[in-house]
Structure 1
Amino acid sequence: MHTDLPQDMILAWERGEWQVLAARMDTAALQQGDTPTKALVVFNPEGAPASAVAVFRARFPVRADVGPQPVTVRDSAGRAVPSRIVNETLTGDAAHPGKRIWEFDLLFRADDVPARGWRAYAATYGRAPDAPEWEEPAASSPTLRALETDCHPGDVPGTGSVGTGAAPPQG
């Protein structure tokens, strides 16, 4: 078990309370200057490190006059990683005049996610010129789930492991 983590965070991992853990992660370093940035935390419940496609399922309002935009994902070193938006829909939003609901799955390459651990990535709107091309993974390739949190200081590192066998996040 990872002894540097607060005990309540180890318990949150064991109970599968992934959003609680993500909300307390130190993701401040992922902020991309003045660009609005979200942290995407990839969880690996397996007993070995994993490199796989991560899936972030998004649903949120966008201005009707702007609509969907490309997204760039970066690792903790600031390197753009391959990413792709799939299963995209755009529908009206009666609750928010002038907006539409954008739903999509953001797929991105998550490398070296620690065993029974996590790694955080930065997501911003726009297509970066240094963004690598997406390569379709094999149909049998594993996927990992990503959850969103803000870029903020926290008491849990942005990459880490607890060494327990908790189940993966459900969505």
Structure 2
Amino acid sequence: MDAQAIERLLDELAERVDTRFAGVQGDYRALIVVNPTDAPYTGVAVLHVDMPLKAGSEPRPAAVWTLDGVRVPCQILHSRLEPVAEWRLPDGTVRPLPDGSRRWRFDLAFWVDALPPRSYRVYRSAWSADELPLPALPAAEPPVRVREAIPHTGELEKEGRLG
């Protein structure tokens, strides 16, 4: 499966998978992890994040949980801040930002255990007071891909086979 096909698949899954987590309070995001390979995967998955940070706000740690509510190791890596005056939205429109806003780019790296070949699984992420360190940092881009999604209903389960 080539990179463009994987991106299209991630877009489709982000729309169709049920990304809600029952009983969870507060603001969170779903992380859809796809293993497009023919081998099971255990290791680090990485979501590349690029987001605006309001004036006066500081970067903070994040946490990630499995479908069963088990917290997994997760770290923010390669954190970079730079001043920004405007932000381009996904639809292409540009929104001015308040003075003092910053662009925060980072890699949200988290542990994935036994993701079957040619499958996907949903994890939950939220801001946290602390990090649970990874057992090993990624030396290269992992073979799995991650897409963030806002929680919503969907016709597909939180874990499944591709194709």
Where on the TM-score scale, by shorter chain, does this alignment land: which range? 0.7 to 0.9
Question: Does 2:138 correspond to 1:147?
Answer: no
* Unaligned residue ranges in structure 2 (runs of 5+): 87-96
Question: Which residue in the other structure is 1:10 paired with?
Answer: none
Name the SS for the 2:21 alignment partner.
helix
Q: Give the letter aligned to residue 28 of structure 1.
A: R
TM superposition shift of 1:133: 3.1
TM superposition shift of 1:48: 2.6
TM superposition shift of 1:15: 4.0
Question: Which residue in the other structure is 1:38 paired with?
Answer: 29
Q: Give the letter aligned to residue 157 of structure 1.
A: E
Q: Aligned in 2, Cα 1:142/1:56: closer, same or farther, shift over 3 Å?
A: closer
Alignment of 1:7-156 (within 5 A): 15-16=5-6, 17=8, 18-29=10-21, 32-33=24-25, 35-95=26-86, 96-98=97-99, 99-127=101-129, 132-137=132-137, 139=139, 142-156=142-156
TM superposition shift of 1:88: 0.8
Whole-angstrom distance in 1 between the partners of 2:13 and 2:152 = 13
Contact 1:31/1:122, CA 8 A, preserved across alignment: no
CA RMSD of aligned residues (A): 2.3
Q: Aligned in 2, Cα 1:138/1:58: closer, same or farther, shift over 3 Å?
A: closer
Contact 2:54/2:98, CA 8 A, preserved across alignment: no
Whole-angstrom distance in 1 between the partners of 2:45 and 2:139 = 14
Name the SS for the 2:24 alignment partner.
coil
Contact 1:30/1:121, CA 8 A, preserved across alignment: no
Per-residue CA deviation, residues 14-48 of structure 1 (Å, 9 max, x unaligned), is 94312122221111126731x21000111101123
Residue identity over aligned pairs, in percent, reads 31
Q: Give the letter aligned to residue 148 of structure 1.
A: E
TM superposition shift of 1:139: 3.9
Matched length: 147
Contact 2:63/2:132, CA 8 A, preserved across alignment: no
Name the SS for the 2:153 alignment partner.
coil
Whole-angstrom distance in 2 between the partners of 1:74 and 1:26 = 16
Whole-angstrom distance in 1 between the partners of 2:58 and 2:132 = 24
TM superposition shift of 1:143: 4.4
TM-score normalized by the length of structure 1: 0.77
* Unaligned residue ranges in structure 1 (runs of 5+): 1-13, 165-171
Q: Aligned in 2, Cα 1:134/1:153: closer, same or farther, shift over 3 Å?
A: same
